[in-house]
Amino acid sequence: MRILGLMTTACTLLAVATVSLGAVTVTSLPDSSMVPGGIAVIPTGTDAVAGSFRDQRILLADFEGVQYAIIGIPLNVTLGSQQFHLTLADGAKESLQFAVEYKEYTEQHLTITNTRQVNPNADDMVRINRESGEMNRAFSSWSDSLTPVFSMQVPVDGVRSSSFGLKRFFNGQARNPHSGMDIAADEGAPIVAPAPGVILTTGNFFFNGNTIILDHGHGLITLYCHMNTIDVAPGTVVAAGDLIGKVGQTGRVTGPHLHWSVNLNNTRVDPALFLTD
Ligand SMILES: [Zn+2]
């Protein structure tokens, strides 16, 4: 009897230690919005140590003693029932469902005078494909050591000129929908980190111009494009409000603005869901 009791205690301790590996304790949650380009915030009802959605690792967070799965929903998702998967501390698997509802996104027609930015040549395509691989690697990276903060401040003061999800046409030709939020501001206006993190990548990209990718931990990663100057380097640790660069018009633009994207589980979601004001 006594031996059995000791074993139970040992197993309980082991289970607690294992659980802490999977979920991160957070002080706020993002708004749940189960639409294409939105975020599903779902209590798991258990203490999972890992989760996945469409083969991408998902963020598991403990908030006020309850574990939540925080899942980025792609713009191209099929409406209706979607399934995600959890791994429990004892190795058991569990699947949960959520329902994605329709959201109307309007069209936006833009005129680009540099036609190579709409119909790139063969050399451009080599560069574009290489850069798209780099972006994808950055967006799918994962750091356990950073604690994501979901309540963000606006990275630049300005006018929200194009919202997330617009169905885009450049010079009359259909292109990918808008994967971020555009904020128009004067060239040189300061851009600040909207939440704490570590600079993951910086560079100059064909479409995105001067670019920063900022890692907030557990798959929450933000992107800043078309900058005039980049004032940080990979590895720089930033607090919310720290200067990271200045507004510019590098890459495919119609004028100076910041293109800001927010990424969860390698999926671009609506940045407005994270803004506190
Ligand atoms: Zn944009």
Ligand 1 (ion): residues with CB under 5 Å are 180, 182, 259
Q: How far is the CA of 183 from the centre of ligand 1 (A)?
A: 8
- What is the CATH T-level fold of the domain 107-274, as seen in this structure? Glucose Permease (Domain IIA) (2.70.70)
Q: How far is the CA of 36 from the centre of ligand 1 (A)?
A: 18
Where do the structural domains in the chain lie, given as residue ranges?
A: 2-100, 107-274
List, in order, residues 6 or more apart from 138 with CB less than 8 Å away. Answer: 200, 201, 213, 221
Q: Tens digits of per-residue pLDDT, 218-265?
A: 999 999 999 999 999 999 999 999 999 999 999 988 899 999 999 999
CATH class assigned to 2-100? mainly beta
- Residues of the chain with pLDDT > 90: what percent? 80
Whole-prediction pTM? 0.89
Q: How far is the CA of 74 from the centre of ligand 1 (A)?
A: 17
Mean pLDDT of 48-74: 97
Q: How far is the CA of 82 from the centre of ligand 1 (A)?
A: 28
Mean pLDDT of 83-106: 96
Q: Quick one: three-class SS letters along the chain?
A: CHHHHHHHHHHHHHHHHHHHHHCEECCCCCCCECCCCCEEEEECCCCEEEEEECCEECEEEEECCEEEEEEECCCCCCCEEEEEEEEECCCCEEEEEEEECCCCCCEEEECCCCHHHCCCCHHHHHHHHHHHHHHHHHHCCCCCCCCCCCCECCCCCCEEEECCCCEEEECCEECCCCCCEEEECCCCCEEECCCCEEEEEEEEECCCEEEEEEEEECCEEEEEEEEEEECCCCCCEECCCCEEEEEECCCCCCCCEEEEEEEECCEEECHHHHECC
Residue 19 predicted with pLDDT over 50:
no
In which band, very low, low, confident or very high, does the pLDDT at 112 lie, cut at 50, 70 and 90?
Answer: confident
Q: What pLDDT is stored for residue 254 in this prediction?
A: 87
Q: How far is the CA of 270 from the centre of ligand 1 (A)?
A: 12
Q: Tens digits of per-residue pLDDT, 129-151?
A: 999 999 999 999 999 999 999 99
* Residue 27 burial (C-beta neighbours within 10 Å; 0-12, 13-18, 19+): exposed
Q: How far is the CA of 78 from the centre of ligand 1 (A)?
A: 24
Q: What pLDDT is stored for residue 101 in this prediction?
A: 98
Q: Which amino acid, residue 58? A: I
- Residues of the chain with pLDDT > 70: what percent? 92
Q: What pLDDT is stored for residue 21 in this prediction?
A: 64
Q: How far is the CA of 257 from the centre of ligand 1 (A)?
A: 8
Measured CA distances, 231 to 52, 198, 238, 262 (Å): 35, 13, 11, 20
Q: How far is the CA of 245 from the centre of ligand 1 (A)?
A: 17
Q: Tens digits of per-residue pLDDT, 150-191?
A: 999 999 999 998 899 999 898 988 888 999 999 999 999 999
Q: How far is the CA of 163 from the centre of ligand 1 (A)?
A: 8
